[in-house]
A and B are shown apart, each in its own frame.
Chain A
Amino acid sequence: MPEEAAALRLEGFSYRYPGREASALRDLSLEIEAGSFTVLAGTSGSGKSTLLRALCGLVPHFHGGEVSGEVEVAGMSLRDHGPGELAAVCGTVFQDPESQVVMGGVRAELSLPLEHRGESAAAVARAVEEVALALGVANLLDRRTDTLSGGELQRVAIAAALVHRPALLVLDEPTSQLDPVAGDELIWLLRRLNEEWGTAVVIAEHRLERCLPAADRVIAIEDGSVACDAPPAEFLDWAVRGGGGLATPIARLFSLAGLGPLPRSVKDARAVLRRTGLTPAGPDRRDGARQGGGETGEAIDGARPRRSLRHPRLGRGAKAPAAIETRGLWYEVENGPRILAGVDLRVEHGERVALMGRNGAGKSTLLRVVKGLAEPTRGRVERAGEVALLLQSPGDYLIHEHAIEEAGPDALAAAGLSGRERANPRDLSGGERQRLALEVVLSGGPSAAVCLDEPTRGMDRAHKDALAGRIGALADAGAAVIVATHDTEFASSFADRVVLMGQSVVIADGPPAAILAGGWHFSTEVARALDGAAGALTPEHGARLIGRELVR
């Protein structure tokens, strides 16, 4: 390919899935330069994933449907070349690493694309070695793929997509199943590959704050069309003007505080704050957070005030039993690692707890033990009543042919699915399935506790806000709500307490302002920009602080 050739060119491209009336993509015209790093932004269902599937040829060759217009990937026309041929110039990584790893061993997985191309054994061996080193998976080469963690699997999938050095790499929400550490590492790894190998990267992501610092360009897709195509700074201006749905937290912070230009990274934000004399004053340590136990901390100035945690059915002065209490909880796998090691946790009625920690810290296991899906090796769990648990994959709850068979009309209405009674749950969007599954687990009547395991994977901000509202309603009705999440922004939006787990144990427990304002990875973008000043976590709170010149 000549150096000046575009990695990607779309000319009036439209696409409609088979059996659908509306087009998923409409009249897209754009060109992506070789060696650029482009972020695709957009709300759920806007057409990002469909566009990525068109770039690798799955649309229309694999999915069928009607297309018009032209797509050229590194000079190869989509009309004349299917996904197999386009694979020579376009590496593809999907959201779920489990479904895209084909072989049993990592080395075989990395070799497969080259073997398809008939490369010699020596060339395969060298390419595998090099890509494994580049992506930091050399130590995994002799591992079985079913023994890898989600982050490791995702790296292996990227290595398999890059092993033949394609001109273009497209990724569909590759960090959605990773913890903040692994997610950040992955983005910077992509940027390094982009810079060192010159591979053009097109990545679709909901959590733009993670990607924008690495991006050269942002393309916002709305309803299948290009709504904005600009460098990150201009995109942020556009996003803020449009209501902030796609704006990053620090962009919204600056917009609300009347500062400019809108920063695309925490580093940029700090520089602007310094220039304007609003140097972050450092984290407020009046946090009262306990390390591995003790009392819940006091509220931080400006943080959401703690609500009364008294059980609504008990009178004033009565000592309410906890909704959930675990004492000395251990969970050890036979001939395997310990997952929980002496976890003590008391959650009151009406409390909203964000359970955080890296992948493998024990969050999901704790929720399963609380629900009673898993028996602890030692220790005990006391429950004030029923515990509702929504596991990570909402689709697992939906087993009938029609939505109405999953839950009653009231539950459908609560899920916002009135009128969709006859819809097959598999045809619902991810957000709709999430809402329906939540109503399914809640349909047994009031629960003492509601536990949600990673409910925001792949969700856009509007859906997250709606979920935060539902969590608030459940808590107001007296349920303790415990949400295991990697999403610090989401945690700051609903939680009145954050429990941070390390490997098998609780390492910090306190109000969000105390836990999320002082960390590096487990910290909101606003808190990082303001260096944790006064425990400000959200753009609104940060803007109030700046407005009151509390950050000096």
Chain B
Amino acid sequence: MIVPTYRERASALHAARAGATAGLCLAFGLVCALYANPAILLAVIAAAVTAGVAAGVGRELRRAALFAMPLALLVTLVNPLVYREGDTLLVRGGEILGRRVDITLEALAAGGLAGLRVAAFVIVFGLFSACVDPDALLRMFRRLSYRSALTAVLATRLVPVMARDALRMGDAARCRPEPPARLAVARAALSGALDRAVDVAAALEVRGYSVGGRPERLRRPWSRQDIRVAGGGVLVAVAALAAAVAGVGSVEAYPRVEIAFGAAEAVLCALLLAGAALPFAGRGARLGVASA
């Protein structure tokens, strides 16, 4: 399965309330959104991987990384074909459709940074998918926008269902005397996904979805895992925002590549890693009772 799916595990990220773990992932996502600095992006990838491995979802993150790599490569390669800015000309190309195609070092570097950012986003999303219980997340959001949250959760749930459907259709195609083109199978799988969506919509209807009222608020005391994971998220988010306001980690791709890296950037990277490690560090992080 390309998209990691949530499984209960005996880890701090899984034991913490969904809001806390989602908050930590959101903080990592915030870093990805704020910074193009490669050192900081590598640090956030390292932080997400650290947290993921400690939470026992290293294999899921590896799959997410494998999924991210071709995307990152694509972005890296497309950017220099689209942008001609930059002082350092690597390849002087001809004209395509009346447009001159020159490849510059700066455009290539900017593409690489954008690709790295895509990879960081995908890995952080992988951590989110593998560690945040979608049902608990729905419960959290239901007082704000119940149906939107439910739709989002359903979309997440439909992904593995449709992936299984596609696998089955692929097997069925292999059973035909003349296997059809992959495109035909993919198109049929997409059509089947629509049927699936209609079935699930019907199931939701008969469970009373259309009359869904605003549910009662759940009150639950904060556990030490909740506090540590949320603390890690707050640390990462505050550090990222403060550093961004202070102009830390600036990157200029054009006309020449200029990437800031000094003590401030190093401190920010360290804080990101500390935020990831916080839920797992020390005796207090041990789980009292292993979850099922």
Contacts and interface: CB of A to CB of B under 8 A. Distances in A.
Nearest to A146: B160
B172 A391 contact: yes
Given A84-B205, A144-B8, A104 B157 contact: yes
Contacts of B134: 103-104
A85 B211 contact: yes
Nearest to B160: A146
Contact of B135 (A103, A371, A396, A399): A103
A117 B205 CA distance: 13
A102 B203 CA distance: 8
Contact of A120 (B7, B180, B196, B216): B216
Contacts of B196: 99
Given A102-B200, A121-B218, A399-B180, A391 B8 contact: no
Given A83-B205, A83-B210, A100 B8 contact: no
Interface string A82-125: 11111110111010101111111101100011011111110000
B133 to A, nearest CB: 7
A102 B154 contact: yes
Interface string B136-167: 10110010000000000110010011000100
A322 B212 CA distance: 61
A390 to B, nearest CB: 7
B175 interface: yes
Nearest to A389: B175
A378 interface: no
B231 interface: no
Nearest to A84: B210
Interface stretch (A236-244, A441-449, A469-477): A441-449
Contacts of A94: 199, 202-203
Contacts of A399: 169, 173, 180, 184-185, 187-188
A226 interface: no
Interface in A362-402: 368, 371, 373, 386, 388-391, 393, 395-400
Interface string A434-471: 00000011011100000000000000000000000000
A444 B177 contact: yes
Contacts of B177: 386, 441, 443-445
B252 interface: no
A142 interface: yes
A435 B153 CA distance: 37
A102 B161 CA distance: 11
A84 B173 CA distance: 39
B56 interface: no
B184 A102 contact: no
Contacts of A62: 201-202, 205
A245 to B, nearest CB: 29
A306 interface: no
Contacts of B175: 371, 373, 388-391, 397, 441
B173 A116 contact: no
Contacts of B82: none
A87 B135 contact: no
A421 B209 CA distance: 40
Contact of A104 (B135, B203, B214): B135
A160 interface: yes
Interface string A36-56: 000000000000000000001
Interface string A529-545: 00000000000000000
A111 B244 CA distance: 43
Interface in A54-98: 56-58, 61-62, 82-88, 90-92, 94, 96, 98
Given A144-B6, A391-B172, A58 B202 contact: yes
Contact of A142 (B8, B160, B171, B214): B8
A102 B200 CA distance: 7
Contact of B199 (A96, A144, A389): A96
A76 to B, nearest CB: 12
B6 to A, nearest CB: 6
A442 to B, nearest CB: 8
Nearest to A163: B207
B192 interface: yes
A117 B213 CA distance: 6
A123 to B, nearest CB: 9
A99 B157 CA distance: 11
Contacts of A118: 213-216
B204 interface: yes
Given A108-B135, A441-B176, A441-B177, A391 B212 contact: no
B226 to A, nearest CB: 18
Nearest to B156: A104
A426 interface: yes
B19 to A, nearest CB: 16
B158 to A, nearest CB: 10
Contacts of A105: 133, 135
Interface in A116-136: 116-121
Contact of B211 (A101, A117, A388): A117
Given A144-B6, A440-B176, A100 B213 contact: no
A391 B173 CA distance: 11
B166 to A, nearest CB: 10
B237 to A, nearest CB: 27
B171 A87 contact: no
B208 A84 contact: yes
A116 B209 contact: yes
A199 to B, nearest CB: 15
Given A98-B161, A108-B135, A426-B191, A373 B206 contact: no
13 contacts: A84-B211, A87-B208, A102-B207, A104-B157, A108-B138, A115-B142, A116-B207, A116-B209, A144-B8, A161-B206, A391-B171, A396-B165, A396-B168
Interface of A: 56-58, 61-62, 82-88, 90-92, 94, 96, 98-105, 107-108, 112-113, 115-121, 142, 144, 146, 160-161, 368, 371, 373, 386, 388-391, 393, 395-400, 426, 440-441, 443-445
Given A84-B208, A88-B208, A146-B161, 6 more contacts: A84-B212, A100-B199, A116-B209, A121-B218, A371-B175, A373-B171
The 6 A-B residue pairs whose C-beta atoms are closest, nearest first, are A444-B177, A84-B210, A108-B135, A399-B188, A99-B199, A118-B213
